[in-house]
Structure formats: C-alpha cells, structure tokens
Amino acid sequence: MAKLPQLRHWIVLPLVFAALIVGAGLALRTPALTAADLAVDVELGHDRWAPLTGIALFLDVVFSPAGGMAMIAGLCLILLVVCRSPINAVATGVVAVAGWVSSELFKVLVARQRPDPSGLFDPLSSERGTDSFPSGHTALAVALAIAVFLLARGTRWQWPTLLASAGVAVAVALSRVYLGVHYATDVASSFVTPLTGQRSSRVFGTPTGSRLWRASQS
C-alpha cells in the first residue's frame, strides 16, 4: 500500500517557507526599501531600446493569465493525446498550476503597491494595484520551467531543458522590471514562491496522489 509523505515534509516545511516569504514581502513594503527598489525601475526607464521593448511586451502577453492557462492546457493535452501519458499530463498540470497559483496567495497576503507610473521616467504600462509581490508572470514562467524540467529529468534533454526554461524565466523576470510594473525584489521572490505550492502538491490527499507525484519525478 502506498504511503503518504511524512507530515513535516508536505505541510510544515511549505508553511514555514511561506511564512518567511510573507515576512520578507511585508518588510519590502517599508518606504526605504521601496524607494531603493523604485530607483532600479527609474534607471531602466532612461535606457529604452525598441527591440527590448518589443520582447518585453510580447512576454507580457504570452505569460499573462490567459496565456498561462493556454500553455499549461496545451502541454497537458500534448502529454495526454500525443504522448499517451495521462499520469504525466495530470501530474505536470498540477505541478505547474500549484506553483503558479501559490503566487496569487502571496499577492493577497503581502498586498504591496505596484510601482507608481507617475514616478517613472518612461512607464510602458499603467498597471496599478496591491498585487506587486510577487510577480505572477515570473511565477508562471518558473512554475512551467520546473514542470518541464521534471518531465525531461533522467533523459538526454534534461540539462538543455533546464537551461532553456531557466533562460525564459529570467527573461520574463527582467521584462517585468523593464516595463515598470514590478520591483526587482518582486521578480526575485517569484523564483522561490512557486516552490511552496509545488511542494504542497506532492500530496493530493490520497495514495494515488502520492503515486502521481512520483510518476512526474521519473
């Protein structure tokens, strides 16, 4: 009979990790740290380059919520229909969604204001709100990178996949700061926030869930 992972591994550790992330996010809301963060956005606004602007705006659309749902659904569909691997399709979908959605919880708990467009030299977007920390676009890219890497792990494509997906995630992170819609610390945190949700996704509440996770690791 399959056994669930120990309680301390799939509940306690993610909760401790989440508490540390929330604490860091709340600390970043202080005026001094926010001013230091904003200085990075302002400096980037002085050095716009048309090709980079085009890439940043392209990534803004591709890794939007609608784009993210389309990519995850498409990947799962390929695994299900083309690769005929329903277990990997389910496991990959859960890993990607858990990592991505967890960032939305941190946005609510931290409620950090986005960079004020009026304080930027050349804002390319007028996004406002208290959902700056962490970056959802970057968290999506990181969550997908982890999910795709798990699929390729143990094959000859393992390291090329890791390098390519990590490169995309870094590009998305830089684009968010370049556009002036996030602080640098927002996107940096987005490389760790998906791990909390994905760690918890190791258990779906049943022995079958445990087997699904192990299948995604193989």
**For 196-210, what is each residue's pLDDT tens digit?**
876 655 544 333 344
- pLDDT by residue (tens digit) across 135-164? 999 999 999 999 999 889 888 999 999 999
pLDDT at residue 78 is higher than 80: yes
- What is the secondary structure of 44-104 as a DSSP string? HHTS--HHHHHHHHHHHHHTSHHHHHHHHHHHHHIIIIIS--HHHHHHHHHHHHHHHHHHH
Q: Provide the pLDDT for residue 205.
A: 38
Q: Which long-range contacts (CB under 8 A, 24 or more apart) does 153-157 make?
A: 153/217, 154/218
pLDDT at residue 111 is higher than 80: yes
Q: Provide the pLDDT for residue 163.
A: 97
Q: Is the peptide bond before 31 cis (omega within 30 degrees of 0)?
A: no
Q: What is the pTM of this model?
A: 0.85
Q: Which residue has the higher pLDDT, 16 or 193?
A: 193
